[in-house]
């Protein structure tokens, strides 16, 4: 069973954007998709040690700010070189105007 | 962090030598680089992708290529072919570099296949293996001008020969590129290539090199069959006789500036240029801005420049102004390889990771 941790308020993230969320020594990226849903992934790119929070959300893709590698943040799938390794994803739920990330 | 800076002495620019290991040891490799502060909303707007500007520029690009080739063929054998081949060769041999670069980043067009198609065409024109260079350029952005890490350091110290610099026709560079492609086509990769290209991509590298070499072989065959230089004037040779603009702009990017720093304001140059050069070069004259924020498409770089210029060294005011600075610095480096031009940051700018300068500060110039 995941432990649900409050990451942010729903209106902390603009639609089609992301923010950084740090918890317990780890770092995550929380996304607000254009369809209104929220998603969460590991915060750092799998190519090099760069946080995705300064990247660009385009539809359901996050583009890394360093070398423009892309992931589908819903599944973590690596979509554009130089990223070859998928990104870890985490379950998310929205309750009472807050976004919770499920960590195990 | 109080890292010991690099020792004075001979540099080893290979990616598998002692300077490479040292860069990793002291935290210069894959490090956190300085970024000017830009509000997120402004940055999102600057990063926004759109197809419009690149489609417009690419239609003009193909029109110039086709028109230039047509005139070159039609008037071949007369002086009238010269202006056509001049335009054709600069578009082929110089603007290929900026198209390769921007489409390699995937920022020129919003639509991915458009970036990929132009990337492949431009890689062929610029005689670069489209697989290798995607990775070497990623390394150039991670470790810009970090000795032993960056595979794209054009001006290694001490600078070898200023006469090469004056030879704006890139005979040496093009020949070297062709030999690399020929070697890759035979299935051979160097240790440096194996260092920065993941093994999963090696097969694609070899295949791409074979395709490029097959096109060159076919062009030579047509030239021999027709007993004419014309096929080579249209395919292959423009990379030499039309590359002067690429070389002219490219050397302004980093030459004579600092190595082994983590701040693009100190190892990269922004130069104001005329609109024709900016079209050919796709605004890469805003080079500090590009390195600091590679997600910003070429057409938004002038706007980005306006946003962050108070945090940057003053730009060079023209190509000539840039070259005055480059020549002065390279001349000093011929006799003193530790010398570099230390760019002056405006009083409003934030300094960053000064410890990497401490050793060279006494020898640097401003
Ligand atoms: S660090 Fe993310 S694509 Fe290279």
Spatial separation of the C-alpha atoms in residues B252 and B287, rounded to whole Å: 9
pLDDT, one tens digit per residue, over B124-146 is 999 999 988 777 788 888 899 99
Question: Which residues of A lie inside 8 Å of B (Cβ-Cβ)?
Answer: 17, 47-49, 54-56, 58, 63, 65-68, 70, 80-82, 84
pTM comes to 0.88
Cβ of A66 below 6 Å from ligand 1:
yes
- Calculate mean pLDDT across residues B195-212: 90
Q: What is the pLDDT of residue B271?
A: 98
How does DSSP classify residue B128?
A: -
Poorest-pLDDT segment among A58-72, B87-101, B157-171, B322-336? B157-171
Distance from CA of A65 to the nearest CA of B (A): 6
* Runs of H (alpha helix) within A8-77: none
* Runs of H (alpha helix) within A1-104: none
For the sheet with A3-9, list strands across it.
A3-9, A98-103, A92-95
Mutation choice for ligand 1 from A69, A71, A76, CB with most ligand atoms inside 8 A: A69
User: What CATH number does the domain containing A50 carry?
Assistant: 2.102.10.10
Domain boundaries, chain B: 18-363
- What are the chain A neighbours of B200 within 8 Å (beta carbons)? 84
Distances in Å between the Cα of B118 and the Cα atoms of A26, B50, B96, B100, B177 are 40, 16, 9, 7, 19
Poorest-pLDDT segment among B14-23, B108-117, B298-307? B14-23
Q: Find the domain containing A48 and state its range.
A: 3-103
Q: What is the DSSP string of B137-193?
A: HHHHHHSTT-TTT-TT--SPSSP--HHHHH--S-HHHHHHHHHHHHHHHTT---HHH
Q: What is the DSSP string of B264-313?
A: HHHH--BB---HHHHHHHTTTTBHHHHHH-TTS-GGGHHHHHHHHGGGSP
pLDDT at residue B196 tops 80: no
Spatial separation of the C-alpha atoms in residues B264 and B262, rounded to whole Å: 7
Check A82 against B49: CB less than 8 A apart: no
In degrees, rounded to 5, the angle at the alpha carbon of residue B342 between the alpha carbons of residues B301 and B255 is 60
**Residue B361: band (very low, low, confident or very high) from pLDDT cuts 50, 70, 90:** very low
pLDDT at residue B366 tops 90: no
| Token output for B354 | 């000064």
**Residue B350: band (very low, low, confident or very high) from pLDDT cuts 50, 70, 90:** confident
Q: Phi/psi at A72 (nearest 5 deg)?
A: -85, 110
Give me ligand 1 centre to Cα B220, in Å: 40
Specify the residue for token string 């260092």: B195
Q: How many independent structural domains does chain A possess?
A: 1
Distances in Å between the Cα of B79 and the Cα atoms of B67, B76, B240, B322 are 16, 8, 20, 34
| Token output for B339 | 């010398």
Check B107 against A68: CB less than 8 A apart: yes
pLDDT at residue B9 tops 70: no
Q: What is the pLDDT of residue B164?
A: 57
Q: What is the pLDDT of residue A42?
A: 97
Which of B311, B320, B303, B319 is closest to B343 using CA atoms?
B311
Cβ of A78 below 6 Å from ligand 1:
no
| CB atoms closer than 10 angstroms to residue B45 | 14
Q: State ipTM.
A: 0.85
Distances in Å between the Cα of A48 and the Cα atoms of B29, B30, B47 are 11, 7, 21
* CA of A68, closest atom in ligand 1: 3
Q: What is the pLDDT of residue B3?
A: 38
């Amino acid at each position: 069973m995941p432990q649900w941790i409050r990451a942010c308020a729903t209106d902390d993230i603009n639609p089609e954007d992301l923010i950084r969320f740090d918890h317990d020594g780890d770092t995550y990226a929380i996304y607000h998709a254009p369809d209104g849903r929220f998603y969460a992934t590991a915060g750092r790119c799998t190519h090099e040690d760069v946080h995705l929070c300064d990247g660009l959300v385009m539809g359901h893709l996050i583009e890394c700010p360093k070398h423009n590698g892309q992931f589908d943040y819903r599944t973590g799938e690596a979509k554009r070189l130089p990223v070859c390794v998928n990104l870890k994803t985490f379950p998310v739920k929205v309750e009472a105007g807050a976004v919770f990330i499920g960590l195990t | 962090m109080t890292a010991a800076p690099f020792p004075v002495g001979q540099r080893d620019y290979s990616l598998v030598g002692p300077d490479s290991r040292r860069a990793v040891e002291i935290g210069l490799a894959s490090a956190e680089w300085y970024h000017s502060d830009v509000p997120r909303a402004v940055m999102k707007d600057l990063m926004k992708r759109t197809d419009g500007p690149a489609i417009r520029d690419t239609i003009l690009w193909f029109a110039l290529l086709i028109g230039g080739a047509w005139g070159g063929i039609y008037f071949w054998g007369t002086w009238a072919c010269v202006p056509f081949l001049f335009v054709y060769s600069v578009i082929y041999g110089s603007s290929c570099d900026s198209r390769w670069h921007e489409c390699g980043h995937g920022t020129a067009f919003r639509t991915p296949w458009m970036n990929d198609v132009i990337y492949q065409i431009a890689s062929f024109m610029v005689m670069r293996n489209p697989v290798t260079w995607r990775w070497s350029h990623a390394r150039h952005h991670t470790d810009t001008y970090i000795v032993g890490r960056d595979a794209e350091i054009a001006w290694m110290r001490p600078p070898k020969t200023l006469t090469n610099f004056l030879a704006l026709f890139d005979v040496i560079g093009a020949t070297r590129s062709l030999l690399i492609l020929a070697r890759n086509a035979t299935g051979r990769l160097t240790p440096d290539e194996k260092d920065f290209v993941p093994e999963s991509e090696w097969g694609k590298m070899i295949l791409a090199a074979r395709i490029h070499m097959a096109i060159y072989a076919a062009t030579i065959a047509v030239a021999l069959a027709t007993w004419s230089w014309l096929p080579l004037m249209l395919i292959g040779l423009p990379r030499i006789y039309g590359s002067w603009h690429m070389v002219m702009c490219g050397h302004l990017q980093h030459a004579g500036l600092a190595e082994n720093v983590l701040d693009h304001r100190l190892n990269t140059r922004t130069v104001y240029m005329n609109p024709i050069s900016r079209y050919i070069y796709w605004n890469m004259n805003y080079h500090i801005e590009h390195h600091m924020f590679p997600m910003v498409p070429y057409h938004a770089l002038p706007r980005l420049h306006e946003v962050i210029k108070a945090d940057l060294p003053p730009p060079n005011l023209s190509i000539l102004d840039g070259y005055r600075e480059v020549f002065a610095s390279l001349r000093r480096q011929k006799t003193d390889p530790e010398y570099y031009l230390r760019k002056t940051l405006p009083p409003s700018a934030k300094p960053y990771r000064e410890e990497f300068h401490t050793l060279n500060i006494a020898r640097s110039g401003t």
